[in-house]
Amino acid sequence: MRAEALGSHRYSCVSSELSNALIPLVVSERSCLAFYRALCTRFSVEAAGGPDDYGPIELWMPTGRLRWDRALSAIDYADMRLVIHENPGFLATFASSSTRDMDDDLLRAEYESFDAYPEPTKGGRARLQLPAQLIQPRSFRTVWTLTSPMAHGADEKSGNVNLFRRHRVVDALTGSHAYVPFMAGNAVRGMMRDMVMGRWLGLLGLKASDIPPARAHALLAGGNVEQGVDTGNVRVDVRKRARALCPPWDLLGGCTDQQIMAGRARIHDAVLVCRENAWQVHQALGVETKDLDEWAETLPEAAELTQLRLGTRHAHRELEDSGGSQMIFNVELLLSGAQMVHSFQVFSLDGVDQVTASCLADLLEDFGAHGVVGAQNARGMGLIAFNPYEPGPGTPELPDPTIYLEYVDAHRDEMIEWAMMRGEPDAPARASGKGGRGGKKGPPPPRATAEEQAADRETF
């Protein structure tokens, strides 16, 4: 790299720019050659040499020199991706060490220092023996098909590139590792929480901004534990009241009125249908284990399923007093047409109240009607199509959503009172006793007796 080509400011910050650029480049390109071309272009380097550059770029090693194209031919791009994802700064450190000012002895000493490193080893890549049949936990699942590209922000920033979220996975068919795009269960859970709480408040004729901020924070973001609160002090009356009066709360839980409460639902990561995940998703797509290898070969690798999209924001300087700033940015998107398997569990469905299970059914209907996941929905990202969630082996069907809707209608006043309450009183709370819109009287019932629960087990 030359300071004249980059400019003095960029040249002085070249290591951080390189570090930020490596991951976006490695996910946007599909081969070592393409990656190298993109890298050279970014830093105005002529790989083949030019009038102002040294000759073709060469790799200098203690044993001699090797031209760049030959060096690249020995690199497995999957390995390169893995190393860059692990630590782009590692490579940037080497690349930005200048050797121009070193004399030959110093340079030789630096090369010889590599001898102190142990020989690189590759972890075992043993294929795992997959079982023909598993004892499967009860769950509901479906397959999302993306009808528009999807965005889901990565854990770390890479300059002006907003990458898709990835995690490391083991491919049981090959024993190798890869960084694969996924959508976090926590993100899906948050989206479902917004949806189900918003719908519940809407049924009550409320907006989130109408209720006390602490309650709104609990409903929409899970709440928080106040400083100094004894979280070991379980108040069953407070919990029962919350679960009875807010079925979505029973479903998703959180912390309210100094009570940390577990929800019934466990929302899983959305797993990308790709070669690396084939062993995990084949059953959801109706592929038998004996056909798995052949089917996996037909799937694209995860790295083939994303692309960078360039976005711009204009300053509109033609407008008087325009204070905006011009910027470009890249967003990595999962391609339209990609599929993801999504599942969740309700634990334990046998012990879950009918109203809560019905609330879940209502949420899933609402989710299906919206059909949007991930970020940047306002730009049209994240549209999905999917069949209704199917119960897996041994999983009972969910009840009809009308049970939930009728329950909300019948206990509307008590629910509004709970939603508007600023903290539970010390004494066990009493229901208002006023009838709801449906005219039913009485306090919120304990949801179901043991006998009723037993009956529920047979019905859903």
Partner 1 sequence: MGYSPPWSAEAQRWACVSPEPLTLRAWLAAPLQWDAYNGVPCEGALQYAVVQLASGVSPEEAFAGAPRDELVPIPIPIADQEMGGFTVALASWAQPAPSAIESTRIRRKRARAESYGLAKVNVAMAEFKSEQVPVPTLVSAFVEFHVVGDRALLNELLPHATHLGRGRSSGHGQVLGWEVCDDPERRSILDRGRLMRTVPVSAGVNARPGTFSVRHATTRAPYWHRASLTDCMVPIVRVL
Cα–Cα distance between 388 and 457 in angstroms, integer?
Answer: 22
Q: For partner 1, give the closer residue by CB, 247 or 436.
A: 247
Site residues (CB under 8 A) for partner 1, limited to 287-306 = none
Contact with partner 1 (CB under 8 A): which of 19, 20, 28, 139? 139
> Partners of 180 in the beta sheet?
167
Which one of 48, 106, 109, 234 is in contact with partner 1 (CB under 8 A)?
Answer: 234
Q: Which of residues 173-192 bind partner 1 (CB under 8 A)?
A: 175-177, 184-187, 189-190
Q: Which is nearer to partner 1, 37 or 217 (CB)?
A: 217
CB of 10 to partner 1, least distance (A): 30
Q: Does 228 bind partner 1 (CB under 8 A)?
A: no
Q: Min. distance of Cβ 407 from partner 1 in angstroms? A: 18
**Residue 326 binds partner 1, judged by CB under 8 A:** no
Q: How far is the CB of 35 from partner 1 (least distance, A)?
A: 23
Q: Which is nearer to partner 1, 18 or 201 (CB)?
A: 201
String of DSSP letters for 284-326? TTT--GGGHHHHHHHSPPGGGGEEEEEEEE---TTSTT-----
Among the listed residues 398, 415, 397, the one whose alpha carbon sits nearest the alpha carbon of residue 243 = 415
The single residue among 15, 44, 258, 280 that binds partner 1, judged by CB under 8 A, is 280
Q: Which pair of tokens denotes residue 378? A: 């306002």
Per-residue x/- marks for partner 1, 362-401, CB under 8 A? --------------------------------x-------
Tokens 């290591």 locate to: 15
CA 251 to each of CA 71, 142, 220, 457: distance values in angstroms, whole numbers, following the listed order: 56, 19, 13, 18
Question: How do 259-262 and 253-256 pair as beta strands?
Answer: antiparallel
By CB neighbour count within 10 A (0-12 exposed, 13-18 middle, 19+ buried), where does 118 fall?
A: exposed
Task: Pick between residue 63 and residue 129 the one whose CB is nearest to partner 1.
Answer: 129
Q: How many residues bind partner 1 (CB under 8 A)?
A: 69
If one asks whether residue 450 binds partner 1 (CB under 8 A), the answer comes out as yes
Residues 99-128 touching partner 1, rule: CB under 8 A, are 123-126, 128
Report the nearest approach of partner 1 to the CB of residue 393 (Å).
8
Interatomic CA distance for residues 179 and 167, integer angstroms: 5
Tell me how far apart the terminal alpha carbons of the chain are, to the nearest angstrom: 67
What Rg, from alpha-carbon coordinates, does the chain have? 28
CA distances 26 to 43, 76, 274, 308, 377, Å, are: 15, 12, 18, 11, 26
For residue 254, give Cα distances in angstroms to 222, 248, 348: 4, 11, 18
Choosing from 149, 247, 248, 263, the residue that interacts with partner 1 (CB under 8 A) is: 263
Interacting residue with partner 1 among 10, 37, 67, 138 (CB under 8 A): 138
| Residue 268 interacting with partner 1 (CB under 8 A) | yes
Does 453 interact with partner 1 (rule: CB under 8 A)? Answer: yes
Query: Residue 160 is encoded by which pair of tokens?
Result: 């002006």
Tokens in use for 5?
Answer: 């080509």
Given a contact cutoff of 8 angstroms between Cβ atoms, the answer to whether 102 and 110 are in contact is yes
The strand pairing partners of 162, in sequence order, are 331
Region near partner 1 per CB under 8 A, out of 18-26, 36-44, 262-270, 315-323: 262-270
Placement of tokens 């334990």 in the chain: 348
| Residue number with CB closer to partner 1 (2 or 168) | 168
> Counting contacts by CB under 8 A, is residue 168 touching partner 1?
yes
Place of tokens 């919120």: 444
Q: Using CA atoms, how far apart are residues 275 and 381, in angstroms rounded to an integer?
A: 24
- Return d(Cα 280, Cα 273) in angstroms, integer: 9
Q: How far is the CB of 449 from partner 1 (least distance, A)?
A: 10
Q: Is 135 in the site for partner 1 (CB under 8 A)?
A: yes
Nearer to partner 1, 61 or 134 (CB): 134
Tell the residue number behind the tokens 């309210």, with chain if given. 256
Q: Which of 118, 232, 286, 323 binds partner 1 (CB under 8 A)?
A: 232
Q: Which is nearer to partner 1, 92 or 242 (CB)?
A: 242
Q: For partner 1, which residue of 30, 157, 167, 434 counts as binding (CB under 8 A)?
A: 167
Rounded to an integer, what distance in angstroms lies between the CA atom of residue 370 and that of residue 305? 24
Q: Does 459 bind partner 1 (CB under 8 A)?
A: no
Q: Position 367: which residue type?
A: F
Q: Determine contact, residues 311/329, Cβ cutoff 8 Å.
A: yes
Task: Give the interface with partner 1 as residue ranges (CB under 8 A).
Answer: 123-126, 128, 131, 134-139, 155, 167-170, 172, 175-177, 184-187, 189-190, 194, 207-211, 213-214, 216-217, 220-222, 224, 226, 232, 234-236, 239, 253, 260-263, 265-269, 271, 279-280, 343, 345, 347-348, 350-351, 394, 450, 453
